[in-house]
Structure 1
């Protein structure tokens, strides 16, 4: 009998009590893919201001692995939990192309990125666009006005988990997707 090969998928997970970095170290030790959106913040240590790379949203970890691997590791790391959809109760699984797009933007640690909870933005008002130049060339998202920014920005969303608004992009570098 042939064993069906499980494919790796992206899970949105929660590491309780701000232990997302500990979870990431343990997941990397187990050779599992993971991603935590991070950003530089200024903090004061011993009276001096220093730039520190910190998670954007505490407790959020994206894990890339086969379901059986996640189950095995989750049994060892008791503070790692699945994030579930509030309506259906299903585990939140992110399509690979959405996650690659999100990592391409959030993985830059750019100071001008703005992060939002899904309910903070009205994505239905956005226009689907593709960026045709600059640092984020090839990325697709929604072009809309976001809170905390003077102008419209391209937003990439992970359904029901997080959204990231890119830095201001010149209109000449944006094309509308029909």
Structure 2
């Protein structure tokens, strides 16, 4: 009866030793939501260039599940671990709207996306904006200059876990949010 009242929430999790594909298969088999930020990488195999979809940050995945369902699955699998906030020690739980924004951008597998650790960016220096056109229309983030890019980019961040900088967006397609 208790599981009936629980709502599904997004957890930031780790699958140790690069086992995020195994974790994804297991979670899908258990009918739990899962998202791993991926991007295409070119590598050389047997003298040929091969383009493969690989995780952006190894061991990182996001799980959408009821707490009791996740606890049950986690008890069967030792390599699946919660990511905790270093200050409070609490499990990192991501609000639905923040996660949907992140998935809308990171789920495109766009080659021009840049990923950052939270400590690499000072989001307080940026301006809160909304994209009004193009591939990322309707997305909100912080407009900021990032290393590795010539111009300023719109950043969508998950507090304390990961941030993604969108491809270059023409300034005419950006509006400032008050």
Query: TM-score, normalised on structure 2?
Result: 0.98
Matched residue, 2:113? 113
Structure 1 segments unaligned to the other structure (5+ residues): none
Question: Offset of 1:45 from its aligned partner?
Answer: 1.4
Question: Offset of 1:76 from its aligned partner?
Answer: 1.0
Matched residue, 1:148? 148
Question: Offset of 1:10 from its aligned partner?
Answer: 0.1
Alignment RMSD, CA only?
0.8
Inter-partner Cα distance in structure 1 for 2:44 and 2:76: 35
Alignment of 1:27-176 (within 5 A): 27-176=27-176
Secondary structure, counterpart of 1:7 in structure 2: coil
Inter-partner Cα distance in structure 1 for 2:78 and 2:72: 11
Instruction: Give aligned pairs, total.
Output: 177
Inter-partner Cα distance in structure 1 for 2:76 and 2:39: 28
Inter-partner Cα distance in structure 2 for 1:22 and 1:49: 26
Inter-partner Cα distance in structure 2 for 1:103 and 1:137: 14
Question: Offset of 1:46 from its aligned partner?
Answer: 1.5
Inter-partner Cα distance in structure 2 for 1:24 and 1:45: 25
Question: Offset of 1:151 from its aligned partner?
Answer: 0.2
Runs of 4+ in 1 over 6 A off after TM superposition: none
Alignment of 1:10-29 (within 5 A): 10-29=10-29
Query: TM-score, normalised on structure 1?
Result: 0.98
